[in-house]
Amino acid sequence: MASEIESGDAKSEPLPPRDPAQTDPMPEKTVGGSGEFPPADGLESLVESPAYAEPEEGIASDDDKGETPGSDGDSLTHLRMPVSSAAIFEFLKTIRSRQSDGAEDDVANRIDPVPTPKPEPKSERKIRNLSYVSELVEKAPTDELLLAMIEKEISEIVSEHDVLDKFEVMFIYDHAPLNRTHASAMYQGLSICKKNKDVLVVLKSVGGKVEPAYLMSKLCNRFKKDKFFVVVPAEAKSAATLFALGADEIHMGAMSELGPIDPQINDYPALAFSSALEKIAQIAQLYPGASDMLARYLKDSGLNIQDLGHYDRITESSTQYAMRLLESKIEETEGAERVRDLASYFTNHYKDHNFVIDVEEAQKLLSKEVVKSETDIYHACHEVHRFIELAEFSLSVKGRAKKVVAMGRRFHLRTLDKTASQEKK
């Protein structure tokens, strides 16, 4: 019986009768929607299966009665084409041939590889000038809002610079002397690191106690992956210089300064007391007649000889700390003598505690391999410093005497004493 395709009211021409001698061409894909050939094993059993047997003439199978919706609500009748046994055996032969020739590998090679996700582009750098920062300060009337704004902006600055991606960026940024609190904050910040990054510390400090400075420098070396960097955007004096000596690299610029490591006692260098006694002895030698007068002066001054010895030992202790931090920077061929000479130079050579050791002086002492000048890393960290300076200036203009303090990963606001602030002006 000839089959017909119905579409609405119109009828197509009847299909020509099928020649029984003609076999169907091998289908490219099996019916089932997967688009893949069925496994070769077990296909022989399908030859005698009713689903693959030729239907009797004039009898439509259940599959032939299915309908698929057309474009306009019409339907198309599926025609089940009979498959001969010869075609199935030829199909099996082809499948096995492809498997033996590595057809599976060929199919795998045709699969498109999973595309590598592209990294998200860096956000554009903001222009953080005085107008921009003043507006931010104006929008943050409370300390809580101000601190949140500062932390957000500094985090954005760090993320905007690719050169900082490989670092755990930490801070020692304080106008107050270094103490145990700074060391504790540094430890808390480093302890949550996964040790899969190098450590970078933005350092701005007037100095302080040498013991916590030495301890923090050792901590940074302990938690680093490979390198420990210090960036000095402004001043890093006295004990802060001692801290920097433990770094693998010190990045400085035109406004950066290190300083002597001579300990201070009551705002005087510890070596000053020994130097004063030596000066009195020289005067007595030059003017023997003044010996009695100088002796009475020393007696009435209340100078304790034991204190002189103690002050000398404090200075020597600073030299020992510096030696331990400098050992990794001195070639073995130069030996321990070179280490001691360099450490002693930082503690004893300079006559003024406020002496400026700029980038050129530091490179002469520590080499250009250790002290880097005007690098991209320096400029990235200097942008953080500049933002903080603009924020503090904007606060002072608005009558809010605040200083930004950063220890480890945490930022704080410190209220300045108004009397002291006025005296400094």
**3-class secondary structure per residue, 25-91:** CCCCCCCCCCCCCCCCCCHHHHCCCCCCCCCCCCCCCCHHHCEEECCCCCEEECCCCCCCHHHHHHH
State both tokens at 312: 């000398």
What pLDDT is attached to residue 286? 84
Higher-confidence residue of 424 and 119: namely 119
| Most confidently predicted of 86-100, 119-133, 240-254 | 240-254
- pLDDT of residue 296 exceeding 70: yes
Residue-level pLDDT at 97: 66
Highest mean pLDDT among 2-6, 157-161, 301-305, 311-315: 157-161
Q: What are the DSSP E strand ranges found in 137-286?
A: 167-173, 198-204, 228-231, 235-236, 249-252, 257-258, 264-265, 268-269
State mean pLDDT over 62-79: 46
| pLDDT of res. 52 | 46
Q: What is the pTM of this model?
A: 0.67
Q: Residue 180 pLDDT more than 90?
A: yes
Mean pLDDT of the residues in the chain? 78
Residue type at 85 in one-letter notation:
S
pLDDT at 202 > cutoff 70: yes
The more confidently predicted of residues 308 and 115 is: 308
Question: Mean pLDDT throughout 248-269?
Answer: 89
Lowest average pLDDT, out of 61-65, 186-190, 339-343, 417-421, goes to 61-65
Residue 86 to residues 18, 45, 295, 328, Cα–Cα distance (Å): 17, 14, 129, 83
Q: Decide: residue 264, CB within 10 A, 0-12 exposed, 13-18 middle, 19+ buried.
A: middle
CATH of the structural domain 130-259+356-424, one choice from 3.90.226, 1.10.8, 1.10.287, 3.30.750: 3.90.226
State yes or no: pLDDT of 157 exceeds 80.
yes
> Which range is most confident: 20-29, 67-76, 248-257?
248-257
Amino acid identity for residue 215 in this structure:
L
pLDDT surpassing 70 at residue 280 = yes
User: What percent of the chain stands above pLDDT 90?
Assistant: 50
Locate all alpha helices (DSSP H) within 261-374, ordered by sequence: 270-286, 291-300, 305-326, 335-344, 359-366
Positive or negative, the CA dihedral 130, 134, 135, 136 is positive
* Residue 53 confidence (pLDDT) above 80: no
Average pLDDT over residues 195-208: 94
CA-closest candidate to residue 230, choices 359, 132, 391? 359
Does the pLDDT of residue 419 top 70, yes or no? no
Confidence of residue 10 (pLDDT cuts 50, 70, 90): very low
In the prediction, which pLDDT does 75 show? 44
Instruction: Give kind and range of the element (H or E) at residue 414.
Output: strand 410-415
Task: List the chain domain ranges.
Answer: 130-259+356-424, 263-336
Tell me: pLDDT of 7 over 50. no
Least confident of 334-338, 352-356, 377-381, 421-425: 421-425
